[in-house]
Amino acid sequence: MIDVRLLRDDPDLVRAAQERRGESPAVVDDLLAADESRRASIAEFEQLRAEQKQLSKQIPQAQGEERAALLSRTKELSGQVKTAEAAQGEAAAVFDVLLKSLPNVAAAEAPPGGEDDFVTIEEVGTPRDFAAEGFEPRDHLELGRLLGAIDVERGAKVSGSRFYFLTGVGAQLELALVQLAMAKAAEWGFIPMIPPSLVGPRAMEGTGFLGQAADDVYHLEKDDLYLVGTSEVPLAAYHSDEILEADSLPLKYAAFSPCFRREAGSYGKDTKGIFRVHWFDKVEMFVYTTIEESYATHEALLAWEREWLDALELPYRVIDVAAGDLGLSAIRKFDCEAWVPTQGKYREVSSTSNCTEFQARRLNTRVRGEDGTRPAATLNGTLMAATRTIVALLENHQQADGSVRVPAVLQPYLGGRQVLEPLA
RNA sequence: GGAGGUGUCGCAUAGUGGCCUAGUGCGCCCGCCUGCUAAGCGGGUUGAGGAUGAAACCUCUCGCGAGUUCAAAUCUCGCCACCUCCGCCA
């Protein structure tokens, strides 16, 4: 959630941000009204409560008639306090629901508009010209079959559509990618983490995934637990209800975890292969810092993502995601999209968001500094999403005979193999 | 899943209905004293919210939530977490 004071002091700024997202600025006025009545009800409750406490204190010393008078007045007040307290709770709840539904204030730099209104920041590397090389590129599914690496038929048999088995060298490839990614992250100063991928409602709600994105989340009703779509969720909740010392920042975590997505409403999209699946493994970077540092940290996260893709020798582009496509928590988001030869397009393989104080305020994570305590800033960025990375690696590094070249950095993690060969 | 126990300020503890505006010790911060350090002395030290130009001020916060009462850290009920033992299990 955003700062209530910002809402009161500069509502026009919030309205403008709503418009950049293509959302209604009217909620701002609803919120201001709700804040008004919330504060009025607080004042009323507190005034009654103060009187009740003050009179109540005199009772033990009072005698006879005076005591009876006090008792009858406090008795009356007791009821009024209860009513006022309930009213105050209700007003606070109304306000809270509205405030939590309001997205973070989109950065002025974020391109206005929706999904298609992104701005390309840079294209890195050159997609291969397979025609010039004299062969038709195979898609990752066919390569996966040739290599004995991916089995989607049995994935569907066992778990349904959008599930897969990684087999043989495919399984080894994922493990190699995970190891390399975790090793790199540790080098960059991230603390390696393996977090729970089942979380309670607070963590899910606090990270903003129970808003518009709720349909995309798996929920285990019997236990009221959620399967996370990203380890951003447990990492953001990790320090909930904590006060971090300013000189301990930045706190950088890199987590390996499975990710689960219902992919509701994506029927018919990316149905072939393992590009869009209900479950995949991912190494995610997550940073706690101050709001002032967050902008530079966001650039750093992007730089690490790029270093990763450079190391894997993949052609990709970096885009500045438009305000309407930011999600609830972010003020700005950069995506890295790797070239997918058989689709002839760049497709998202990583994404980094600056959530400023939005998640920290919901999850009650604060920083104690010279000027008191205030909410922390949180940022996240994908380092390695296994399935999409495998798609990009196989397709971009394939050779005419169906073998796949292994980038040099990955070779030590694959037993020194330089090439993945098709099964006989 | 069953039985028992515990939950108070950063840590350790005191507190069985009003004298709790939650005490004490440790730690930490500021000051005094002292060649230096230690000791000693004095003061400060949970967090959130409301009001205000800013304060003084007021409210909430003893795991969480409801209840009893004029009044709850204290009594009642529910929930959660942790510990011990049993069962089951990777």
Which bases on strand B have an atom closer than 7 Å to a protein beta carbon? 18-19, 47-51, 58-60, 66, 69-71
**pLDDT tens digits along A34-52:** 999 999 999 999 999 999 9
Residue A354, pLDDT score: 97
Contact (Cβ atoms closer than 8 angstroms) between residue A322 and residue A117: yes
Choose, from A21, A38, A361, A388, the residue flagged as catalytic: A388
For residue A345, say whether its CB is under 7 Å from any atom of strand B.
no
Note the ipTM here. 0.86
Whole-prediction pTM: 0.93
CA of A366 to C1' of B10 (A): 16
Residue A246's pLDDT is what?
86
A67 touches strand B (CB under 7 A): no
Is A388 part of the annotated catalytic residue set?
Answer: yes
Q: A332-336 long-range contacts, Cβ below 8 Å, gap at least 24?
A: A332/A106, A332/A107, A332/A109, A332/A110, A332/A298, A333/A110, A334/A121, A334/A298, A334/A302, A335/A118, A336/A302, A336/A305, A336/A306, A336/A309
The reply to whether A261 belongs to the active site is yes
pLDDT reading at A361 higher than 90:
yes
Supply φ then ψ for residue A350, to 5 degrees. Answer: -150, 165
Is residue A392 pLDDT above 80, yes or no?
A: yes
Residue A64: predicted pLDDT: 78
A168 CA from B55 C1′ (Å): 72
- Name A381's bridge partners: A285, A352
> Which whole number is the average pLDDT over A326-347?
96
Q: Would the Cβ of A73 be found within 7 angstroms of any atom in strand B? A: no
Listed residue (A238, A235, A241, A232) closest to A209, CA to CA: A232
Q: What is the pLDDT of residues A133-181, one digit of tens each?
A: 999 999 999 999 999 999 999 999 999 999 999 999 999 999 999 999 9
CA distance A365 to A282: 25
